[in-house]
């Protein structure tokens, strides 16, 4: 077993993106407008409960200020400043084209927004008293399991602060380049935090709707995705509203996956809730020319052709309600924007949307990187009507497309050996102990160590843990647990998971139903005890040694796996420490669970859940002989998985299972990471993983 060295932080391996240029000039003529509409995530059976306000056309907008010093200027001449192929080394962010150089304050603008976020997030840590958790702290009789009612713990409707004014999207086009590693990490964190808030509100609103449904006995389709976007918009939490970013969005990586169209708006990746082409409109642009910044390719147009690296994208307009082409398209709005982007060599972000089994919305959206519009022509489409076509070619030297990774992972799930004939050390490291295979893959070197350890499905606790006081108690829900049952009360009145097993809010500990409950295995309060559901793969990487990734797309908030080991008493641990470094100390995992469901940005009186409280975790786990897949997960200071303590097979609060949940949507084949709380060199990822 090698000696311990501090582990490399996965964040350091985040890809950087390139910017580019080139221009192609095809002069074309202009007429009128209609957005290229894309279907909403779900077809609505009835009017959505939460209406989204579509921004006014700019010519109707009173606040449209074409004379803003920061507006976009382009003169279609030889002198047109075109983004350089490689950014100047000192440049951090370019205003495109830099008409006035005092607008180089753009980067400080980013800092300013960042600061806003920081202060916004810092709020709520100390303050308000009216929250539910204040009430819980009183009863910090940590070892007793007392049903407690916390009526409002999971309600969105409490204490909504006065909405801020919606900010209109800026007319300033900027490109962000040359971020330092710290910046990259910073923006990644910002996007991640924003997405967590989005998901939390979405899930909480589903739960609220579910309660209303039960109370009123009628069915109302939940649109948590819209409500989350609306609430965040009111609170000024949408990102990149004050800049129109050309090229990569800081904090968004190629391959990032989204389940909801509105989420793209929230983070500013694609600012149109329905239109397929996002562009700075002619009315906002100072020279009167629209500029396209992103497109969603979702196969909604019969004349689209998509081979991955090259896309023939059909312009918008001329379709009827059923997406049938019924008239000629015109070179206007987004169509003209794409043509102008081609003319000025401005890159366009491409997001692919497609149906995806297992997605909550039935669809997913994947960010596939930057493309350049290289050609544009007017053609007769399959319908017989005239359509504009744009040829988009992917800019070279970018990380692999997320959509092709999804396809690759799909084929790996079905026929691994055909797709990757070399590199498999084991097709199931768990030896059938898990419900799904845990692959062991190494195409880097000859190391096959993980096969020599016995796979431990679930943590082994000392026998006395099971003889703890209240172990014989459980709920009586023969037909499945319902709100208010004994086990719900143990969790503070609400279940920790929504219907699909997504973690609603991190807590000091979660009580799942156990052997003394009368509910069936399908009870919604049994999630992590059921074991791994995604096909995981332990793999060898040159950068991080052993690592873990999934062949399935893991939704944010979903259970990944347990971190298992053999629990040792303090004395045993001391002896073990002398002969090796295969001990895991649960207390060293930072309380990342508190970030999941943190709505301090939305509610000023938000307090982090303090109930049910548990004593500090004072045990160690030996993983020297018996271990599971979790042991190979890499460390990251901005991890995509968190540790959530869970009890189910006993009620001893001092010995919870360490359950891992996804903190963000983890695309297939992206490395899973955990914050091991690297306090000193002994607490990094276990040396056995290197």
Q: How many CA atoms lie within 13 A of 411 on its CB side?
A: 10
How far from chain centre, in Å, is Cα 65?
35
By C-beta, is 145 or 477 nearer to Zn ion? 477
By C-beta, is 517 or 538 nearer to Zn ion? 517
Bridge partner list, 292: 279
By C-beta, is 430 or 525 nearer to Zn ion? 525
CB under 5 A: which stretch of 86-94, 516-524, 586-594, 647-655 binds Zn ion?
Answer: 516-524
CB of 472 to Zn ion, least distance (A): 13
336 three-state secondary structure: helix
Which parts of 269-371 fold into alpha helices (H)?
A: 333-344
The answer to whether 342 touches 291, Cβ cutoff 8 Å, is: no
Exactly one of 196, 523, 566, 643 binds Zn ion (CB under 5 A); which one? 523
By C-beta, is 485 or 614 nearer to Zn ion? 485
The answer to whether 537 touches 426, Cβ cutoff 8 Å, is: no
By C-beta, is 455 or 495 nearer to Zn ion? 495
CB of 478 to Zn ion, least distance (A): 9
Assess 517 for contact with Zn ion (CB under 5 A). yes
Residue-wise DSSP of 582-647: -EE-GGGS--GGGGTT--TTT-TT------S-------EEE-SSEE-GGGGPEE-SS-SEEEEEEE
Please report where in the chains the tokens 């102990």 appear, as a residue. Answer: 433
By C-beta, is 371 or 648 nearer to Zn ion? 648
The answer to whether 256 touches 665, Cβ cutoff 8 Å, is: yes
The answer to whether 618 touches 656, Cβ cutoff 8 Å, is: no
CB of 468 to Zn ion, least distance (A): 17
CB of 518 to Zn ion, least distance (A): 8
By C-beta, is 82 or 482 nearer to Zn ion? 482
Bridge partner list, 497: 503
The answer to whether 356 touches 274, Cβ cutoff 8 Å, is: no
Exactly one of 11, 70, 284, 525 binds Zn ion (CB under 5 A); which one? 525
Torsion of the alpha carbons at 362, 367, 373 and 379, rounded to the nearest 10 = -10
Return d(Cα 175, Cα 173) in angstroms, integer.
Answer: 7
Both tokens assigned to 101: 């150089």
Assess 351 for contact with Zn ion (CB under 5 A). no
CB under 5 A: which stretch of 199-207, 269-277, 519-527, 653-661 binds Zn ion?
Answer: 519-527
Secondary structure E strands in 61-101:
93-95
Assess 145 for contact with Zn ion (CB under 5 A). no
Buried b (16+ CB within 10 A) or exposed e, 383-401: bebbbbbbbbebbeebeeb
By C-beta, is 20 or 517 nearer to Zn ion? 517
Q: How many residues bind to Zn ion according to rule CB under 5 A? A: 10
By C-beta, is 475 or 630 nearer to Zn ion? 475
CB of 127 to Zn ion, least distance (A): 35
By C-beta, is 395 or 646 nearer to Zn ion? 646
| For the chain, the helix, strand and coil percentages under 3-state DSSP, each to the nearest 5 | 25, 20, 60
**Which positions from 203 through 232 interact with Zn ion, judged by CB under 5 A?**
none
Assess 14 for contact with Zn ion (CB under 5 A). no
Torsion of the alpha carbons at 502, 508, 510 and 515, rounded to the nearest 10 = 150
Return d(Cα 466, Cα 452) in angstroms, integer.
Answer: 30
Exactly one of 106, 203, 481, 509 binds Zn ion (CB under 5 A); which one? 481
By C-beta, is 57 or 484 nearer to Zn ion? 484
Both tokens assigned to 266: 């929230």
Assess 485 for contact with Zn ion (CB under 5 A). yes
Assess 528 for contact with Zn ion (CB under 5 A). no
CA angle 199, 202, 204 (to 5 degrees): 105
CB under 5 A: which stretch of 143-151, 434-442, 509-517, 616-624 binds Zn ion?
Answer: 509-517
Return d(Cα 378, Cα 335) in angstroms, integer.
Answer: 11
Return d(Cα 349, Cα 190) in angstroms, integer.
Answer: 20
Both tokens assigned to 152: 């409002």
Which parts of 324-419 fold into alpha helices (H)?
A: 333-344, 402-414, 416-419
CB of 649 to Zn ion, least distance (A): 12
CB of 490 to Zn ion, least distance (A): 8
Return d(Cα 402, Cα 47) in angstroms, integer.
Answer: 33
Residue-wise DSSP of 267-282: HTSS--SSBSEEEE-T
Assess 475 for contact with Zn ion (CB under 5 A). yes
CB of 653 to Zn ion, least distance (A): 17
Assess 519 for contact with Zn ion (CB under 5 A). yes
Assess 487 for contact with Zn ion (CB under 5 A). yes
CB of 465 to Zn ion, least distance (A): 19
CB of 487 to Zn ion, least distance (A): 3
CB of 217 to Zn ion, least distance (A): 21
CB of 486 to Zn ion, least distance (A): 6
Assess 527 for contact with Zn ion (CB under 5 A). no
By C-beta, is 41 or 153 nearer to Zn ion? 153
**Positive or negative torsion for Cα 129, 131, 133, 135:** positive
By C-beta, is 523 or 669 nearer to Zn ion? 523
Assess 633 for contact with Zn ion (CB under 5 A). no
By C-beta, is 18 or 525 nearer to Zn ion? 525
CB under 5 A: which stretch of 15-23, 338-346, 514-522, 632-640 binds Zn ion?
Answer: 514-522
CB under 5 A: which stretch of 165-173, 316-324, 471-479, 628-636 binds Zn ion?
Answer: 471-479
By C-beta, is 523 or 626 nearer to Zn ion? 523
CB under 5 A: which stretch of 380-388, 478-486, 532-540, 652-660 binds Zn ion?
Answer: 478-486
Exactly one of 206, 262, 496, 513 binds Zn ion (CB under 5 A); which one? 513
By C-beta, is 513 or 527 nearer to Zn ion? 513
How many Cβ atoms sit within 10 Å of the Cβ of residue 441? 19
Return d(Cα 428, Cα 535) in angstroms, integer.
Answer: 10
CB of 458 to Zn ion, least distance (A): 19
CB of 165 to Zn ion, least distance (A): 45
Return d(Cα 548, Cα 672) in angstroms, integer.
Answer: 6
CA angle 320, 322, 325 (to 5 degrees): 45
Q: Which residues bind Zn ion (CB under 5 A)?
A: 475, 477, 481, 485, 487, 513, 517, 519, 523, 525
């Amino acid at each position: 077993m090698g000696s311990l060295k501090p582990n490399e932080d996965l964040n350091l391996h985040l890809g950087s993106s390139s910017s580019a240029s080139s221009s192609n000039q095809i002069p074309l003529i202009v007429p009128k407008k209609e957005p290229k509409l894309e279907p909403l995530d779900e077809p609505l059976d009835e009017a959505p409960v939460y209406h989204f306000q579509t921004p006014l056309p700019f010519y109707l907008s009173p606040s449209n200020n074409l004379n803003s010093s920061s507006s976009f200027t382009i003169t279609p001449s030889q002198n047109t400043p075109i983004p350089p192929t490689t950014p100047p080394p000192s440049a951090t962010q370019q205003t495109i084209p830099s008409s006035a150089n005092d607008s180089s304050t753009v980067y400080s603008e980013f800092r300013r927004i960042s600061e806003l976020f920081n202060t916004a997030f810092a709020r709520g840590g100390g303050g308000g008293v009216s929250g539910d958790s204040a009430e819980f702290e009183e009863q910090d009789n940590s070892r007793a399991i007392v049903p407690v009612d916390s009526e409002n713990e999971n309600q969105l409707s409490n204490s909504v602060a006065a909405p801020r004014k919606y900010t209109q999207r800026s007319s300033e086009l900027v490109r962000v380049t040359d971020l330092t590693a710290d910046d990259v990490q910073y923006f990644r964190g910002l996007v991640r935090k924003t997405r967590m808030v989005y998901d939390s509100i979405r899930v909480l609103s589903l739960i609220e709707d579910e309660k209303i449904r039960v109370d009123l006995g009628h069915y109302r389709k939940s649109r948590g995705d819209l409500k989350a976007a609306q609430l965040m918009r009111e609170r000024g939490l949408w990102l990149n509203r004050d800049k129109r970013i050309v090229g990569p969005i800081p904090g968004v990586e190629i391959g990032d996956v989204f389940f909801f169209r509105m989420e793209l708006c929230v983070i500013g990746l694609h600012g149109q809730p329905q239109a397929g082409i996002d562009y700075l409109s002619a009315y906002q642009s100072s020279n009167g020319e629209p500029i396209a910044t992103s497109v969603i390719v979702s196969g909604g147009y019969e004349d689209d052709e998509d081979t991955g690296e090259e896309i023939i994208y059909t312009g918008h307009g001329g379709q009827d309600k059923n997406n049938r082409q019924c008239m000629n398209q015109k070179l206007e709005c987004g169509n003209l924007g794409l043509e102008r982007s081609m003319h000025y060599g401005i890159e366009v972000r491409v997001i692919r949307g497609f149906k995806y089994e297992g997605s909550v919305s039935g669809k997913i959206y994947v960010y596939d990187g930057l493309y350049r519009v290289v050609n544009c022509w007017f053609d007769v489409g399959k319908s017989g009507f005239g359509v504009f076509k744009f040829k988009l070619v992917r800019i070279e030297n970018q990380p692999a497309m997320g959509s092709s990774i999804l396809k690759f992972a799909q084929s790996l799930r079905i026929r691994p050996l055909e797709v990757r004939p070399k590199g498999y050390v084991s097709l199931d490291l768990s030896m059938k102990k898990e419900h799904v295979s845990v692959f062991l893959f190494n195409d880097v070197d000859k190391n096959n160590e993980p096969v020599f350890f016995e796979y431990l499905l679930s943590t082994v606790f000392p026998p006395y843990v099971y003889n703890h006081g209240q172990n014989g108690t459980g709920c009586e829900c023969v037909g499945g647990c319902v709100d208010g049952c004994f086990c719900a009360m143990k969790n503070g009145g609400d279940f920790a998971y929504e219907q699909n097993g997504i973690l609603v809010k991190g807590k000091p500990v979660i009580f799942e139903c156990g052997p003394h409950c009368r509910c069936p295995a399908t009870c919604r309060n049994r999630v992590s005890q059921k074991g791994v559901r995604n096909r995981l793969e332990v793999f060898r990487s040159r950068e991080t040694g052993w690592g873990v990734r999934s062949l399935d797309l893991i939704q944010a908030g979903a259970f990944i796996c347990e971190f298992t080991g053999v629990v040792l008493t303090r004395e045993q641990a001391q002896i073990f420490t002398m002969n090796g470094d295969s001990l895991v100390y649960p207390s060293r995992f930072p309380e990342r669970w508190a970030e999941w469901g943190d709505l301090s940005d939305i509610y000023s009186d938000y307090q982090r859940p303090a109930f049910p409280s548990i004593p500090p975790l004072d045990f160690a786990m030996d993983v020297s002989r018996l271990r599971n897949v979790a042991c190979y997960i890499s460390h990251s200071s901005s991890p995509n998985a968190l540790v959530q303590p869970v009890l189910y097979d006993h009620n001893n609060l001092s010995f919870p299972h360490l359950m891992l949940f996804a903190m963000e949507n983890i695309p297939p084949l992206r490395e899973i990471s955990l914050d091991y709380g690297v306090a000193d060199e002994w607490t990094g990822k276990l040396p056995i993983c290197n």
